[in-house]
Amino acid sequence: MTTDTTTDVLGASIKRREDPRFITGEGNYLDDIKLASMAHAAILRSPYAHARIRSIDTSAAKAMPGVLLVLTGADIPYNPLPMAWPAGGAAGIQNNVNTPRALATDDVKWTGEGVAAVIADTPAQAVDALEAIEVDWEPLPTVVDAEKATQPGAPQLHENAPNNVVFEWNVGDKEGTDTAIEGAEVVVRQRVVNQRLIPNPMETRGDIGWYNPGTDEYTVWMSSQTPHIQRLLLAAFVTGIPEHKIRVISPDIGGAFGSKIFTYADMPIVMLASKLTGGRPVKWVEGRRENYQSTIHGRDHITYLEIAGTRDGEVTGLRVRTYANLGGRLSTIGPGIPTTLYGRILFGCYRIPNVYCEVTGVYTNTTFVDAYRGAGRPEATYVIERAMDLFAAEIGMDRAEVRRRNFIPPDAFPYDQPSGLLTAVNGSKIYVDSGNYEPAMDKALAAVEYKGHEARRAEARTRGKLLGLGMSTYIEVCGVAPSKWIGAVGEGWGAAMWESSNIKIHLTGKVVVTMGTQPQGQGHETTYSQIIAHELGVPLDDIVIQHSDTLGTPFGYGSYGSRTSNVGSHAAIKAAAKVKDKARRYAAHMLEASADDIEIDGANYRVKGSPDKVKTLQEIAFALDLAFDAPEGMEPYLDETAYYDTTNCTFPFGTHVAVVEIDEETGEVELVRYLAVDDVGNKINPMIVAGQLHGGIAQGVGQALWEGAIYGEDGQLLSGSMLDYAIPRASWFPPLELDETVTPTDVNPLGVKGVGEAGTIASTAATANAVIDALSPLGVRHLDMPHTPQTVWRAIQAAKGGRA
């Protein structure tokens, strides 16, 4: 018997296997989980951005109907939440660490920090009882701007952080860069702000804690990208409960964008609350306004950039000084984002000989800041892509030509950034393994007829419109990361970043694949199935992909940083190889041949030269599961686990081009065209790649044009809901035009690079550059985002006033 292997699904745009349940309301999200005798938690949040807690009176709340328990910080026996990624620790850089407690004890540092929790029979009873808690507050002075927070006289948040400084970190060649800038023909300087964003997954966060008094074990369901890591951190750093006494389950996740990577205060609260209520499961689900205040924000940099070079367009130096706002206390890997994931990629796709970057991490009276889609790389891309435009404008050279002259040339790969940006503090290196930047740019510029831009600009002017074209020739760093690089103390988070996979083939021939990664909507159940169908030659319908539950699964680091296809997939391929190796050995036994003589063709294991002597993988699995004829020394069952550690990161790249028209009278910006040429290597499922790019581009354009978290000076979040925080709508976009180049990478066998964040990384800079290009005839050189009508109108008015 043979199995047909002519249909290979790897690389095919098949429909996502998980979508039917998601789009018909049959998904199982956190709030869909209903357990017997479940109680409900609500958290009282600080109305002040900075205040001392004089006292909390919970007596009235405790007497409210249905209330089981009221907790304050004093009732929580746990440690503060962990901060797992100090900035550059091994380089001797001091990190002044303050992290949140499950509930604040003495003071609060941002509006929305939790100070008490009510556990009641119903969600409504819990919320009602919150109103009966009396807190005696002593409001304190506030500061929300990272640069101002470091100035003399600013309100001080933490005793161990003078001038609100979390750390002073640097990377690159200071001396060389200073020299290059001092001696340069041209130096352009600009202050740029990368504004704070709110991640806005469709599903807010939530968790359910259940303490089983019979076994003294905890089960925690959480809307998390990292169930295994959360079990580890909650056990080892927060609760002291042994790791093997905690099971974590992530059900279906309705989007995350980074915001669900971290350890949050509500997790230990629901665990403790379940124990204190005698083992009733306790659910907490975040409201949307609560999400805006108590789940992490992204970005929020103030940067002074200096770019130096020659009049004929060669960039010789880049010096960057950034104030990174990290919020009132630190989130789990807050310091890692604006340092390792930002400073080390500032060179973009350019061969800049001298680069130096200093970053000051800063406490302010705002929600904590951590990884948001792209995490450091969009901020870096914005800096370098704005810098290239500024430099081009200064020397009067075409932007594309300046980029072309400075691209890392195709023969320079693998590329080691000469100022040491890719060298970890322990000397371990990553390289830009591959790239070919000009063809992608040429393709994009040809598609948008770049040469006709000035003529179109003139035509638009006759209609009262300012037309602008912006480009971003970005690179991205995916596949974080080789453990010895990211695990270097102070470089990464002092831990590994490999991935895991287990494959079992059951007696009936059905394949169960268990992954350490954790989908949040990306379609892993489809793409992993495509890979396993290809590797094992079994039909898609015979494969199930499991993940999300720490019980009985290999440890995995989860999904973020565009690492699932390039790291996770290869754990699965490695496990499949082990399965095939064992199947080959058993086929040899069944067919009375040498294992070396068995050739594998899909699911068919055949003796070379004897096409009739063949066993299918299913037949092998059946026989090996029964195992009555297993040869000496061979274990029963096809059940293999593999761990895969990548040797390098991957570096997708491309050119995005945005075209905007601005209404000169009102400042309204319309995105009229968007074209992206991306090189993400080989594609497992092109339709899913396109979907990732569509969403990523929309999010990045959102930052350029509409989105922004706005705090008042008193620390109130003024953009506190979707009524004031503008999330992009589909109708605001023209059809997105996608094209590609495919430059091979040999970092991994599939030749995939990653695509989860590329759209977001590229599109903010492309769109912002387009707006500024549109305004450039008026003399505008730079304008901070978001480019809302009022902001653009003011720039137009100022430019016109300035010229008059």
Partner 1 sequence: MIPAEFDYVRASSLDEALGLISNGDGAKLLAGGQSIIPLMKLRLARPDKLVDIGGLGELRGVRRLEDGRMAVGALTTYAEMIDSPLGQYGLLRDALPTIGDVQVRNRGTIGGAVVHADPASDLPACLLALEAEVVARSKGGERVIPVAELLAGAFTTTLRDDEIVTEVRLPGPRDDAGSAYVSLEQRASGYAVVGVAAVVFGGEARVAITGVGDVAYRARGVEAAYAQGAAAAAEHATDGVTVNGDIHADAAYRTAMARVYTRRALEAALARMG
Residues that bind partner 1 (CB under 8 A): 123-124, 127-128, 287-289, 665-666, 668, 706, 710, 718-719, 722-727, 732, 788-790, 793-794
- Amino acid identity at 772: I
**CA angle 87–93–96, rounded 5-degree value:** 70
Q: How far is the CB of 291 from partner 1 (least distance, A)?
A: 11
Tokens 């009375």 sit at which residue?
592
Q: Which is nearer to partner 1, 449 or 724 (CB)?
A: 724
Looking at beta carbons only, is 287 or 494 nearer to partner 1? Answer: 287
CB 127 → partner 1: shortest distance, Å? 5
- Minimum CB–partner distance for residue 122 and partner 1 (Å): 9
Write down the residue that tokens 């591959």 correspond to: 434
Closest to partner 1 by CB, 723 vs 804, is 723
CB of 130 to partner 1, least distance (A): 10
Question: 159 is written with which tokens?
Answer: 């005793």
Identity at 215, one-letter amino acid code = T
Judged by beta carbon, residue 289 or residue 510, the one nearer partner 1 is: 289
Question: Can you tell me the distance from the alpha carbon of 6 to that of 539, in angstroms, rounded to the nearest whole number?
Answer: 11
Of 265, 44, 54, the C-alpha closest to 140 is 54
Min dist. Cβ of residue 704 to partner 1 (A):
13
In terms of CB distance, is 458 or 727 closer to partner 1? 727
Nearer to partner 1, 556 or 720 (CB): 720
CA distance 110 to 15: 44
Contact between residue 671 and residue 728 where contact means Cβ atoms under 8 Å apart:
no
Measure the CA–CA gap between 347 and 653, rounded to whole angstroms: 13
Q: Return the number of the residue (244 or 461) whose C-beta is nearest partner 1.
A: 461
Max Cα–Cα distance, the chain, nearest Å: 94
Look up residue 314 and give its two tokens: 């060669």
d(CA 569, CA 756): 14
Please give, one letter per residue, the 3-state secondary structure of 574-607.
Answer: HHHHHHHHHHHHHHHHHHCCCHHHEEEECCEEEE
Q: How far apart are alpha carbons 221 and 29 in whole angstroms?
A: 10
- Choice between 132 and 380, CB closer to partner 1: 132
Residue indicated by tokens 């510029």:
445
Beta carbon nearer to partner 1, 645 or 668: 668
CB of 239 to partner 1, least distance (A): 29
Q: d(Cα 789, Cα 698) in Å, to the nearest integer?
A: 18
Amino acid identity of 198?
I
Q: Least CB distance from residue 708 to partner 1, whole Å?
A: 9
CB of 804 to partner 1, least distance (A): 17
Strands (E), 97-205: 107-108, 114-120, 134-139, 165-172, 186-197
Residue type, 302: I
Which candidate, 572, 595, 594, places its Cα nearest to that of 582?
595
State in angstroms the smallest separation of the CB of 200 from partner 1: 11
Question: Does an H or E element contain 44, and which?
Answer: strand 39-45
Residue 622 or 732 having the CB closest to partner 1: 732
The C-alpha atoms of residue 38 and residue 35 are separated, in whole angstroms, by 5
User: What contacts 355, CB < 8 A, 6 or more positions away?
Assistant: 172, 173, 177, 317, 318, 319, 320, 346, 347, 417, 419, 421
Neighbours of 266 (CB within 10 A): 26
| E strand or H helix that includes residue 81 | none
Kindly state the smallest distance separating residue 723's Cβ from partner 1, in Å.
Answer: 4
Cβ at position 322, least distance to partner 1 in Å: 25
Structure tokens at 794: 């003011």
Using the minimum distance from each CB to partner 1, give the nearer residue, 323 or 725: 725
Cβ-based nearer residue to partner 1, 391 or 706: 706
Kindly state the smallest distance separating residue 728's Cβ from partner 1, in Å. Answer: 9
The nearer residue to partner 1, 162 or 464, going by C-beta atoms, is: 464
Residues in the chain: 804
Q: Minimum CB separation from partner 1 for residue 32, in Å?
A: 17
Q: Give residue 325's identity as a one-letter amino acid code.
A: N
**Closer residue to partner 1 (CB): 63 or 718:** 718
Please report how close the Cβ of residue 254 comes to partner 1 at its closest, in angstroms: 16
The CA distance from 74 to 87, in Å, is 31
Rounded Cα gap, residues 775 and 792, in angstroms: 9
